[in-house]
Structure 1
Amino acid sequence: MGILPPFRRDPTFYPSPRMAMNSPPEDLAYVASLYTGTGINRPDFLAVVDVNPKSETYSRIVGKVEMPNLNDELHHFGWNACSSSLCPNGRTDLERRFLIVPGLRSSRIHVIDTKDNPRQPKIVKVVEPSEVSKVTGYTRLHTVHCGPDGIYISAFGNEIGEGPGGILLLDHFTFEPLGKWEINRGDQYFAYDFWWNLPNEVMVTSEWAVPNTIEDGLRLEHLEKGYGNRIHFWDLRRRKRVSSITLGEENRMALELRPLHDPTKLMGFINMVVSLKDLSSSIWLWYFEDGKWNAEKVIEIPAEPGEGLPEIIKQFKVVPPLVTDIDLSLDDKFLYVSMWGIGEVRQYDVSDPFRPRLAGKVRLGGILHRADHPSGFRLTGGPQMLEVSRDGRRIYVTNSLYSTWDNQFYPEGLKGWMVKINSSQDGGLEVDKEFLVDFGEARAHQVRLKGGDASSDSYCYS
């Protein structure tokens, strides 16, 4: 009788967030980089950045994957497989190998293989937008999450730029679209982000807007009715919406969902970008208690008076903080908040999630602060996307929100950059003086770390 070769699971898959925190540090970062909306007629690209401080090419772009078409607007992207594969209904024969990179404007899906040469990955498959819309009815693809049973991608709307938006699935092996995820959505119309608690079979989704009210830029007259302010809770197995909560009647743009990584805790955070009342931003905690879903505001960040403001906010005479991204460390201790308008990244200790405590902050660019990098490099735009390393000690920051919105809020011109913020174990932030990636005329959006990061994986074990 022959001896079967031993099966070795992907070493970047971890049963629990605590085990992932003890993994080796990242050495490469993949960054969505775009020329869409800049006036430069070149295709977007995925940049490979060396983030190993011991490397001779540290803080440099060491590889690029150029997209085969123009005007994709690369935005959010994710892995084909991750630690969710270790869940009881997962596929342990998968490996973290392919990056699934959609175009937010084009709805085209690029499958990029990183295995043979992580510094020079290659496109191995392109799913055209016509195939996506034919099978699913969805367009304008956004968030990508590696589920135990397939690859999930959120979408803003349909072929004519209206709603409802929702979620579609790709096959784990062929990367072909399978169809819409929702069976019973109720009155859910706006879509944006999603995430889940897998052991409790809960899906959570958020709201931004439909394509027709965001693609050509922000119009203030759309704010009252054209942007969402609800969070939705779903039965993950039955694919049915079971509850929705309005996060303040005056608030608009319910964006990033950050559930606690500990799968035994049914709660998480979401950011509201702007209040119609005073242009403040807020962070809300959503949680399950006494047999029902609840949500309450736990952080409020006011607008601040400013001068020399862009036309889009000039009449208000204040700078809205514009909290456009949040991220949560794997130990669920620190919540990181980017303020794209003011120009700050804040760190809150959320050990008690109902009572966050400010633990650190740094200034980077911004309409208000206009803060340069410690090296003296001028930072246009403001801190936007955040990615936290698995051990929680490094936060990578980029500065582009969405091309047409970049042009409105930073009309003097926004050039792409990526910086690193170091976090001490007990809290406190400092911008790394030695790390700065200049993308020049290209704009930088989401960052994914090789081997995983704080917003790429979900876990089934505490």
Structure 2
Amino acid sequence: MTTSDHVGQPPLTDPTGHAHRTDQANPSGHTDPTLYRTPADAIAAPPEKLAYLVGFDRSAQRPDALITVDTDPESSSYGRVLHMADVPGLGDELHHFGWNACSSALAHEGHHQPERRYLLTPGLRSSRLHVFDTHPDPARPRLVKVIEPAELADKAGYSRPHTLHCGPGGVLLSCLGGAHGNDGPGGVALLDHETFDVLRAWETDRGPQRLAYDVWWHLQHNIAVTSEWGTPSMVENGVDPELLLGRSYGHALHFWELDSGRHLQRLDLGDEHQMVLELRPAHDPAATWGFAGVVVSVADLSASVWRWQREDDGRFTARKVITIPAEPAKEDELPPALKPFGAVPPLVTDINLSVDDRWLYVSAWGTGELHQYDVSDPAHPRRTASVRLGGITARQPHPAAPGLPLTGGPQMVELSRDGRRVYLTNSLYGAWDDQFYPDGIHPWLAKLDADTENGGLTPDLRFFPHGEDFRGLRVHQTRLQGGDASSDSYCYR
């Protein structure tokens, strides 16, 4: 049975009056078994039995929620929503979220007894951060702390929190805007590993960086990488055609000294390549390469994936390794935003790299397609499979519901640690949803089974929660119990 909890503002201290610390929950000192020393250890670990999603109400009339779905194929409730835990306010737009600790915590200072236990869920519109505890019942997370926008603004100078990862020195939280929603610059806030209090801005010398989006790193090499979208005024109401055609959105990667927050290099991909979003560095901790997704080229509406790498002289370079062209379409089939172009842009809005660094997944939210590439040679990806679901004009149904045209398309893609299960959700961002799917986004979560030997994707007919299964909330990102391919980094080979 689906249940719903509405939890008010929790106390920020425990009953003794001391700040809440995660290490108090693990007095035995045993290492969390879901923190893996190597990628191979993560791949060999037991599969996830639960998935967590965030859902938001575009009308801001109902609370957003953290949603739990059963992913255990032996369970009688497989593929069903188990629980929905509401947040206290309205209009948060829960978007990206993440674990308080990942496998790299084994090499971080600041963790007394690291434990993958808490889910931190920022509100992209509210700038409020919610902390959920997955103990004692992982299927029913409890809201235990709320960090208000004023704390993020006053201590770090940021707003519009977007992506977070457990990192050296604290949890790194990327933010699109400056204090109180101003236009910045955006950047990265640093949170305490255990209390989740905002500490400060992570950057000590930002150099030319002004726009923000994702943040990741090459841990063993003391290198951080950030990407670019736009400031709050640039993204608040969707894609601004003048800004897009004026090539004003982000089109660069930035490389930093991870421990100090000092800017090292700006790498411009060229201003025709608008909105450099998701970053996926190699999981091999000795590697210094990764992939970045670019939403659209203003030259031809194509989308692309780029590979960055560190050269012998220490500088980073990047090269386009995947191009996905736009698809012609009849004007009367297109939403108003696309009628002048007579085509559907792929809109690559998420990518995901398997833990063994062999398979890359690319979401084309506009055309409604998920692409699988063999990247055994990362400089020369080879497409091995694709699946269509939804799409701006296609509305391709899921094979489990062949009579139901789907809205949205593969957007956030999450991959199990062993690479055999791919989870897809269909909402991107409320304002973009309205522009590209003006009839509305009806939520769905799909699971695909992946062939990790030869390539291939097959939709799971038993796993397709959708529509009112989520109380109509639009679902965005997915996180998996025990970690997943896009939220874990590793310390050892």
> What's the TM-score once normalised by structure 2's chain length?
0.91
Structure 1 residue 209: deviation in Å? 0.4
Which residue matches 2:447? 420
Q: How does 1:26-425 map to 2 (within 5 A)?
A: 26-35=48-57, 37=58, 39=59, 41-87=61-107, 89=109, 91=111, 93-158=113-178, 159-223=180-244, 224-291=246-313, 292-307=315-330, 308-375=333-400, 376=402, 377-425=404-452
**Secondary structure of residue in 1 paired with 2:155:** helix
Query: 8 Å contact 1:85–1:92 — kept in the other structure?
Result: no
In percent, how many aligned pairs have the same letter? Answer: 52
- Whole-angstrom distance in 2 between the partners of 1:161 and 1:341: 30
Residue 248 of structure 1 and its aligned partner are, at CA, apart by 2.4
Can you list the C-alpha shifts for 1:425-454, whole angstroms capped at 9, x where unaligned?
221111111110114321000000011000
**Matched residue type, 1:212:** S
Deviation digits for residues 27-79 of structure 1 (CA, Å, limit 9, x no counterpart): 000001010x2x36101101100011111111111011101000000000001
CA distance in 1 between counterparts of 2:380 and 2:293 reads: 16
Tell me the SS of whatever aligns to 2:161.
Answer: strand
Instruction: State the distance in 2 between where 1:161 and 1:318 align.
Output: 34
**Cα 1:210–1:222, aligned 2, differ >3 Å: closer, same or farther?**
same
SS in 1 for 2:410: coil
- In the superposition, relative to structure 1, how do residues 241 and 412 fare at CA in structure 2: closer, same or farther (>3 Å)? same
Q: Tell me the distance in 2 between the aligned counterparts of 1:424 and 1:187.
A: 43
Q: CA separation in 2, counterparts of 1:262 and 1:207?
A: 24
1:249 Cα deviation after fit: 2.7
* Correspondent of 2:46 among 4, 21, 24: 24
Superposition CA RMSD, Å = 1.2
From the superposition, tell whether residues 306 and 149 of structure 1 become closer, same or farther in structure 2 (CA, over 3 Å). Answer: same
Bigger Cα displacement from structure 2, 436-445 vs 202-211: 436-445
- The offset of 1:219, in angstroms, is 1.5
CA contact (8 A) 1:406 1:414 kept: yes
Corresponding letter in the other structure for 2:288: L
Distance in 2 between residues matched to 1:331 and 1:456, nearest whole Å: 14
For the pair 1:435 / 2:456, whether they are aligned, the reply is no
**How far apart in 1 are the matches of 2:87 and 2:433?**
21
| Contact 1:399-1:445 within 8 A present in 2 as well | yes
Matched with 1:461 is 492
Where does the alignment leave 5 or more consecutive residues of structure 1 unmatched?
Answer: none
Compute the displacement of 1:216 (Å): 1.2
Does 2:34 correspond to 1:7? no
Q: CA deviation at 1:7?
A: 3.4
Secondary structure, counterpart of 2:143 in structure 1: strand
Shift of 1:226: 3.1
Q: Are residues 161 and 226 of structure 1, via their aligned partners in 2, closer, same or farther at CA, if it must alter by over 3 Å?
A: farther
What CA distance in whole angstroms lies between the structure 2 residues aligned with 1:434 and 1:88?
40
**Please, which moves more after superposition, 260-269 or 378-387?**
378-387
Q: Is the 8 A contact 2:450 2:457 kept in 1?
A: yes
Q: Which runs of 4+ in 1 moved over 6 A?
A: none
Structure 2 letter corresponding to 1:390: R
Tell me the distance in 1 between the aligned counterparts of 2:181 and 2:49. 42
Question: 1:173: Cα distance to partner?
Answer: 1.8
Whole-angstrom CA distance in 2 between matches of 1:198 and 1:235 = 10
Aligned partner of residue 54 in structure 2, secondary structure: strand
2:366 maps to amino acid: G
Distance 1:335 1:452 in 2: 18
Q: Is this contact kept in 2: 1:91–1:149, CA < 8 A?
A: no
Structure 1 position 369, deviation (Å): 2.6
Task: Give the counterpart letter for 2:358 in structure 1.
Answer: K
Q: Is the 8 A contact 2:110 2:170 kept in 1?
A: no
Name the CA distance, whole Å, in 2 between partners of 1:439 and 1:182. 42
Match for 1:240: what amino acid?
Answer: R
Worse overlay, 434-443 or 331-340 = 434-443
Shift of 1:151: 1.1
Unaligned runs of 5+ in 2: 1-26
Which residue identity lines up with residue 385 of structure 1 in the other structure? Answer: M
Q: Secondary structure at the residue paired with 1:154?
A: strand
Provide the rounded CA distance (Å) in 2 between the counterparts of 1:402 and 1:134.
26
Supply the distance in 1 between the matched residues of 2:218 and 2:69 (Cα, whole angstroms).
Answer: 31
Q: Distance between the aligned counterparts of 2:191 and 2:271, measured in 1?
A: 35
2: CA distance, partners of 1:167 / 1:210:
13
2:150 alignment partner, SS class: helix
Match of 2:475? 444
Per the normalisation by structure 1, the TM-score is 0.97
Q: How far, CA to CA, are the matches of 1:353 and 1:422 in structure 2?
A: 23
Once the two structures are overlaid, the 10-residue window that deviates more, 15-24 or 79-88, is: 79-88
Q: Classify 1:392/1:135 alpha carbon distance in 2 versus 1 (closer, same or farther; 3 Å).
A: same
Cα pair 2:60 2:91 within 8 Å, conserved: no
